[in-house]
Structure 1
Amino acid sequence: MEISPHKQRIATSIVLAVLPALALIFQGWVLFTVLSLFCVLTLWEFYSMFRPVRHMTAFKSLGAAFTFLLLGAFTTGDVRYPSAILLAAFWASGFIFLVRYNRDTSASYRHAAIFLVGLIYIPMNFHFFLSMDRMEILLIIGAAAVSDTAAFYAGSLWGKRKIWPRISPKKSWAGSIGGFTACALGVTVYGETFGLPEVALWKWILLGGLLNVAAQMGDFLESAIKRSLDIKDSGSILPGHGGLLDRVDSLLLVTPAYALVAMFHPFFR
């Protein structure tokens, strides 16, 4: 019996919710392990998007090692350690380039640059989860999920006028407005229920709007990267969704956006 793409999307979403749920229940080393493995898989997928893939083989293994080192460094609470890890990653990628260039003067620094961008794009953006409590993590994941889901259905029902057809042909203004409205409403209800009582209503609405804009920009960025590489999906590991990066592209910008705002204005205890 063939399962429709829509049902595949729903089933995949349910399965994907299990690991974050376990990480949230136990936190500590469980959260670190789940987040690290997820970042490694997503990072490998990101590197595999660039051709020729064989040139990224060494960087994929190196990226996995530096992901664990980088996330581990952030758990110390000392900013010197993550900075040192990133510098080490820079010089390690530079050394690989030197060896390749010595063998072949036509070798490009492009893949070394992609290696560094990948570390910033994925584990650097996701490391904020390690310093957040359960309520904050649920807010961020929920805001990204509500934004994507509402935009999908609103766009499917009423979407005619496209936003950036060259970047994402299916993204419409109706979907954008639907996602924005749903996210602002969802964040406000969640915040009023679980957040600090002294946080004004308008601040929750503003936060919801900000997180939705971040979600949409994260989505557009990944779409632009794929189109520039002439590929449809970042991978095929998730039935109905494509790749891991296709699923978390909006979350990659929502997470640091919330972390930045929360640095200046706490929303939870």
Structure 2
Amino acid sequence: MDISPHKQRIATSAVLAILPTLALIFQGWVLFAVLALFSVLTLWEFYSMFRPGQSMTAFKSLGAAVTFLLMGAYTTGDARYPGVILALAFWASALVFLLRYNRDVATSYRHAAIFLAGLFYIPMNFHFLLFFDRLELLLVLGAAVISDTAAFYVGTWLGKRKIWPRISPKKSWAGSIGGLTACMAATFAWGLAFGLPETVWWKWLLLGAALNVAAQLGDFFESALKRSLDIKDSGTILPGHGGLLDRVDSLLLVIPCYGLISMFQPYFP
């Protein structure tokens, strides 16, 4: 029996929600394992986008090792740890570039840059989730999911004028406004229910707006990246969605956006 792409999308989303749900319930090592798994698989997709059809075993294995080390920052309690790991990753890639200098300068430099970009883009952003409490995790994940879902349906029903067709032909102003409105409403409701009582109501609306803008920019960035590489999806692992990166692209910018805002304006007890 043939299943429509839309039904595939809904079914995949439901299955994909199982692991984050378990992580939110149990947290601790379960959250660590889920984030590490998501980070490694998404990082492999990212690297494969630049070198399609190649196994890149050593490249991906080193990226996976650095990912687990970055996730380990949570267990050390030392704020310097992620910076040290990324600095060492930089020098590891620089050493590879140096050793291959006489053979293919342009290619080895490009590979080193791709390796580092993947680490900053995916595991570095994901690892911040380990430092959020349950209310913050639900807020961040919810903001990304609600922004994407509302934008998709409102854009499908009402979208005519496109925002940036050269990068993302399907994204419309109606979808963008729908996602913004839904995210602000959800953040506002979440804040009234669980936030600090002294936090004034308009700060929750501003937080929702900021997280939605971050979600949309994260989505546009991945779309631009795929267009520059002339590919449609980051992978094929998720029926109806494409790759893992296609599902978490908006979340990857929402995470540091919330982290930065919460440093200056606490929202939860």
TM-score interval (norm. to shorter): over 0.9
Kindly, what percent of the aligned residue pairs are identical?
75
Summarize deviations over 1:14-53 as a string: whole Å, max 9, x none. 1111101111111111111110111000000000000355
Q: Compared with structure 1, are the counterparts of its residues 106 and 195 closer, same or farther at alpha carbon in structure 2 (3 Å cutoff)? A: closer
Give the aligned partner of residue 258 of structure 1.
258
Give the aligned partner of residue 223 of structure 2.
223
Give the aligned partner of residue 39 of structure 1.
39
Contact 2:96 2:108 (8 Å CA) reproduced = no
Shift in Å at residue 98 of structure 1? 2.7
SS in 2 for 1:101: coil
Shift in Å at residue 215 of structure 1? 0.3
Q: Give the aligned residue type for 1:44.
A: W
Q: Compared with structure 1, are the counterparts of its residues 50 and 177 closer, same or farther at alpha carbon in structure 2 (3 Å cutoff)? A: same
Distance of 1:73 and 1:268 partners within structure 2: 23
Distance of 1:126 and 1:32 partners within structure 2: 10
Contact 2:187 2:208 (8 Å CA) reproduced = yes
What is the TM-score normalised by the length of structure 2? Answer: 0.96
Q: Give the aligned residue type for 2:254.
A: V
Distance of 1:237 and 1:55 partners within structure 2: 16
Give the aligned partner of residue 75 of structure 1.
75
Contact 1:183 1:208 (8 Å CA) reproduced = yes
Contact 2:184 2:207 (8 Å CA) reproduced = yes
Output the aligned Cα RMSD: 1.4
Q: Aligned pair 1:11/2:11, yes or no?
A: yes
Distance of 2:93 and 2:55 partners within structure 1: 12
Q: Give the aligned residue type for 1:249.
A: D
Distance of 1:252 and 1:104 partners within structure 2: 33
Contact 1:47 1:53 (8 Å CA) reproduced = no
Q: Give the aligned residue type for 2:33.
A: T
Give the aligned partner of residue 190 of structure 2.
190
Contact 1:185 1:208 (8 Å CA) reproduced = yes
Q: Give the aligned residue type for 1:214.
A: A
Contact 1:75 1:130 (8 Å CA) reproduced = no
Contact 2:97 2:105 (8 Å CA) reproduced = no
Contact 2:215 2:254 (8 Å CA) reproduced = yes
Contact 1:70 1:82 (8 Å CA) reproduced = yes
Aligned length: 269
Q: Give the aligned residue type for 2:138.
A: L
Distance of 1:119 and 1:51 partners within structure 2: 16
Distance of 1:186 and 1:106 partners within structure 2: 47
Give the aligned partner of residue 138 of structure 1.
138
Contact 1:49 1:229 (8 Å CA) reproduced = yes
Structure 1 range deviating more: 238-247 or 87-96: 87-96
Give the aligned partner of residue 174 of structure 1.
174
Structure 1 range deviating more: 202-211 or 47-56: 47-56
Summarize deviations over 1:194-246 as a string: whole Å, max 9, x none. 11111111111111011000000000000000000000000000010000000
Give the aligned partner of residue 98 of structure 2.
98
Distance of 1:58 and 1:95 partners within structure 2: 15
Give the aligned partner of residue 233 of structure 1.
233
Structure 1 range deviating more: 56-65 or 215-224: 56-65
Structure 1 range deviating more: 171-180 or 76-85: 76-85
Structure 2, gaps ≥5 residues long: none
SS in 1 for 2:100: helix
Q: Give the aligned residue type for 1:146.
A: I
